[in-house]
Structure 1
């Protein structure tokens, strides 16, 4: 395919890197990461091959939910820097060829937000309808609570007026009323502000919750179609910045996710995380059987050409397994999180990948090779490129949000502050900075860092992965996932052995042309660091995979001019 085709819809083959400014690098030595430190580490991200940086919330906040409880949508938490620091960071990132997107929380604010402070004062306050209130006593809603064990209801009674306000998450995070046009205008205005500051889009948190219109009166709900609102946000975004992107967190079945893309028009979210593939990846890893993941990928629906799936191994939250059956989830728990302290809410894991796989280098690399080879846009969470582990001493999701490990010195080089002044503890033990750190990894040609940097180069040079048609290739070994991605006559063949035993693969690639002649003189050209594989005239080939082995190939015909 023509490489020029990939430049307009940049998000379709980007490499996204998610980080939290407060745990990435501390420049001023107060124990908290900041934008000054982030600027100092921009070149590190560029060297890795990142093309888009995703910032977790950096807005003013009481920080009771890692910044997702916001008090000012236009500001910067003073612990992290100033608005000027943010603009300098964005400018520096763009100078190195990277775009920047940021978390944007539409569903709720902090209860310390000026809007909510006004809203709770009286039933006739001008800001009352910025949030969702009810006069009558709500029914039992314990089954709707998102964080079991932390809340018992999605409604809390407020003393000032005696009425109840809605909070799908914690009670200190009251839900905004998006049925109110003033709220919608405020959201658009604040998004426009950050676009003007240089952002290239937003990752929208908890999208289904703010579109559900839970608790809104029937009269008000009838005035707005939630998906029309999402489409209007996308339209507004692209009027302000034609290449801006909306990446949505929508953990729903594929059929429901299609609606959030905008259906056949593709005019709502540009991208969505593929939670189903991620969850079935872990089921396949637990069983050492590729079939659960293969079945999921085969059932993934076609989407509009402008849309894309975001592929990930882990993110900043608990590793949710909520779409697996109880029995399947129990299998994954037994394999990767048998200790109840490793689990969260009965549905997820608060662990990073390397400790779950007992630090097995071959298996870890196979998983990341697989992630980059699946059709979609890969998303990395900070520290994954090093093989960082979790800190189970930390509470809840914070276990995977420990400070970035830069060196083997005090505090892992994250900060010069005393250890007891750090925003979070540094991981200890084998996965701590003595063994796992960026300075060492960058200089070791055999490190995971250099392996992932090589994967990124291969991914960026293989637009078929992001733009092509996905197809499972038939073969008999249940431990092997064998698939192809084809675009404009160019085909990649990708093989991953999810089992601890070596695997022999015998398979055939298909062609719309005469199968007896289509592959005459062609080979499977290796794209990583292995040997080429002969291809029979009818597309047949044989392949040996080591335990947790992986191979990337492109079908190369004699007349091909690719290098």
Structure 2
């Protein structure tokens, strides 16, 4: 496989609204990010993925874009952005932007024109339909944010499609003129000097012609339209065209967020010969604790299913494509609360989960605060939550008679605001995030979990992440080595090997709160990294792992 700069890179996602507020208005901003670049340089990351900073009415925290080539005033100015780009580059850190082109804001100039009349030149930039003859909606699709996926616009008495919020109308990718405008916009950002794109729900841009009705899941009010827009009929054509017309002409990173993509899909999307995208974000491992009722139907974490899933992706894409590796992002709850132990063994389990992920093959992504072991938050009232997905779900399900107490418990476990509470910089008021009132409450545990504390403790989660990042930069076995699952039947242990040329690394990760003994079949004289200060007990034949222990051994032949 041809070596690329992003193969051994580590990406750090910044959710600007919650990162660092420089002016006391309670909202993080671009100058606030500039103030913390030296912190990120100390961590050792190579790339910042910046969640949307474009001009937006902020219905979905910036994922509803009003102007793709302007900066949201709350975050600063384009001059601030250019300064961030320059200062990051001076430190050897690249900047990847979010690219949200399945939909725009309903306040975008294109949509303002589109809704004026049925014969407006911009009408076909969006997906409009009349009601059916019986007066029902154009089809039965449900919105991913609850409710129907159609909104009536009274000016022309037609409906527009919105897979997400009604303020996020879907763009019509069948329109070639629209596509060319998007590609030109992408190119202008690349010419500005950015280093790539994370492409929001990019595999939803191609819809089945005719937009047919979908199957209605048991107990649901609307059809699951995903069967008609996930990995749609023209998606590969559109991505190849986009690559040829824009980012394919630059040495940049492209990662497509692709819900519902299988390993077979991912091989097609990421095969370098096909020239579509460099890597994809899969969602499968993020759904392992979801029951038949979906995201809010929380079920216990199953390590065996995680092992099966990661192994499937590692093996399938080896030498064929490229994996992205992540536990957390702005849409996912905190992993130490989700798959680890955020109380007694918070530090140990956070380090263990980091070990497991960062020694896999692919490009790792760290979400802000993950490197200090930030946890989920359990606000007492639904009024404390800001996320549109949470609020829409709450309204729909309480109207159907669901128990508010049970819904709140689900929000505590799976709500997106778990990831969006402000970064905990220190133990001062509002965790040092702002001198004002934060847009979203800070997690109350900030006096004991914060960056200042982590930097003062040589055994902190922060410095462990720094070690893992350095290892990836130093060892080809992590970047290009072949993966193999071992100890497959062990129910509390995830163990695997990475092999490259004459070197094999053995990675052991315990998910148990008790000691676990596992068999050994290799030399343990060369430990690489572990999350306990002393080596684990055992003998030549077995290893005794302490609660949430991670240990890595290197062997050569």
TM range (shorter): 0.7 to 0.9
Report SS of the residue matched to 2:529: coil
Does structure 2 retain, via aligned residues, the 8 Å contact 1:179–1:213?
Answer: no
Indicate the residue corresponding to 2:336 in structure 1. Answer: 353
1:23-42 mapped onto 2 (5 Å cutoff): 23-42=18-37
Q: Residues 433-489 of structure 1, C-alpha deviation per residue, up to 9 Å, x if partnerless?
A: x11211121111122212222222223323322322111124653322221111233
Alignment partners' CA distance in 2, 1:469 and 1:385? 27
Alignment partners' CA distance in 2, 1:281 and 1:157? 36
Q: Does 2:266 align with 1:252?
A: no
Q: Does 2:369 align with 1:386?
A: no
1:137-216 mapped onto 2 (5 Å cutoff): 137=132, 139=137, 144-148=142-146, 152-212=147-207
Q: When the two structures are superposed, what TM-score results if normalisation uses the length of structure 1?
A: 0.80
Indicate the residue corresponding to 2:86 in structure 1. Answer: 91
Does structure 2 retain, via aligned residues, the 8 Å contact 1:470–1:484?
Answer: yes
Indicate the residue corresponding to 2:356 in structure 1. Answer: 370
Alignment partners' CA distance in 2, 1:438 and 1:288? 29
Does structure 1 retain, via aligned residues, the 8 Å contact 2:10–2:469?
Answer: yes
Q: CA deviation at 1:286?
A: 8.1
Alignment partners' CA distance in 2, 1:282 and 1:374? 24
- Sort the Cα spacing of 1:541 and 1:238 in 2 relative to 1 into closer, same or farther, 3 A: farther
- Sort the Cα spacing of 1:160 and 1:46 in 2 relative to 1 into closer, same or farther, 3 A: same
Q: CA deviation at 1:316?
A: 0.8
Q: Residues 85-111 of structure 1, C-alpha deviation per residue, up to 9 Å, x if partnerless?
A: 111111111111111101110100110
Indicate the residue corresponding to 1:339 in structure 2. Answer: none
Q: Does 2:549 align with 1:544?
A: no
Alignment partners' CA distance in 1, 2:534 and 2:336? 29
Which of 295, 317, 328 aligns to 2:308? It is 295
Q: Does 2:440 align with 1:414?
A: no
- Sort the Cα spacing of 1:147 and 1:215 in 2 relative to 1 into closer, same or farther, 3 A: farther
Deviates more, 1:274-283 or 1:78-87: 274-283
- Sort the Cα spacing of 1:486 and 1:311 in 2 relative to 1 into closer, same or farther, 3 A: same
- Sort the Cα spacing of 1:388 and 1:262 in 2 relative to 1 into closer, same or farther, 3 A: closer
Alignment partners' CA distance in 2, 1:95 and 1:503? 47
Alignment partners' CA distance in 1, 2:366 and 2:61? 19
Q: CA deviation at 1:275?
A: 2.4
Alignment partners' CA distance in 2, 1:229 and 1:92? 34
Which of 229, 242, 246 aligns to 2:238? It is 229
Alignment partners' CA distance in 2, 1:18 and 1:229? 26
Q: Residues 349-387 of structure 1, C-alpha deviation per residue, up to 9 Å, x if partnerless?
A: x55534872322322322222121222222111111122
Q: When the two structures are superposed, what TM-score results if normalisation uses the length of structure 2?
A: 0.81
Q: CA deviation at 1:262?
A: 5.1
Indicate the residue corresponding to 1:561 in structure 2. Answer: none
Q: Does 2:305 align with 1:314?
A: no
Alignment partners' CA distance in 1, 2:506 and 2:253? 30
Alignment partners' CA distance in 2, 1:541 and 1:91? 54
- Sort the Cα spacing of 1:224 and 1:74 in 2 relative to 1 into closer, same or farther, 3 A: farther
Does structure 1 retain, via aligned residues, the 8 Å contact 2:152–2:160?
Answer: yes
Report SS of the residue matched to 1:552: strand
1:472-483 mapped onto 2 (5 Å cutoff): 472-474=485-487, 477-483=490-496
Q: Residues 211-251 of structure 1, C-alpha deviation per residue, up to 9 Å, x if partnerless?
A: 2356579xxx9x9832111022223344441x212111112
Alignment partners' CA distance in 2, 1:475 and 1:208? 33
Indicate the residue corresponding to 2:476 in structure 1. Answer: 463
Alignment partners' CA distance in 2, 1:288 and 1:402? 24
- Sort the Cα spacing of 1:108 and 1:253 in 2 relative to 1 into closer, same or farther, 3 A: closer
Report SS of the residue matched to 2:116: coil
Does structure 2 retain, via aligned residues, the 8 Å contact 1:260–1:269?
Answer: no
Indicate the residue corresponding to 1:61 in structure 2. Answer: 56
Deviates more, 1:90-99 or 1:296-305: 296-305
Does structure 2 retain, via aligned residues, the 8 Å contact 1:250–1:257?
Answer: no
Indicate the residue corresponding to 1:526 in structure 2. Answer: 527
- Sort the Cα spacing of 1:306 and 1:46 in 2 relative to 1 into closer, same or farther, 3 A: farther
Q: Does 2:442 align with 1:426?
A: yes
Indicate the residue corresponding to 1:445 in structure 2. Answer: 458
Does structure 1 retain, via aligned residues, the 8 Å contact 2:485–2:495?
Answer: yes
Alignment partners' CA distance in 2, 1:135 and 1:377? 45
- Sort the Cα spacing of 1:476 and 1:209 in 2 relative to 1 into closer, same or farther, 3 A: closer
- Sort the Cα spacing of 1:502 and 1:20 in 2 relative to 1 into closer, same or farther, 3 A: same
Q: CA deviation at 1:526?
A: 0.9
Q: Residues 32-58 of structure 1, C-alpha deviation per residue, up to 9 Å, x if partnerless?
A: 221111111101011011111000000
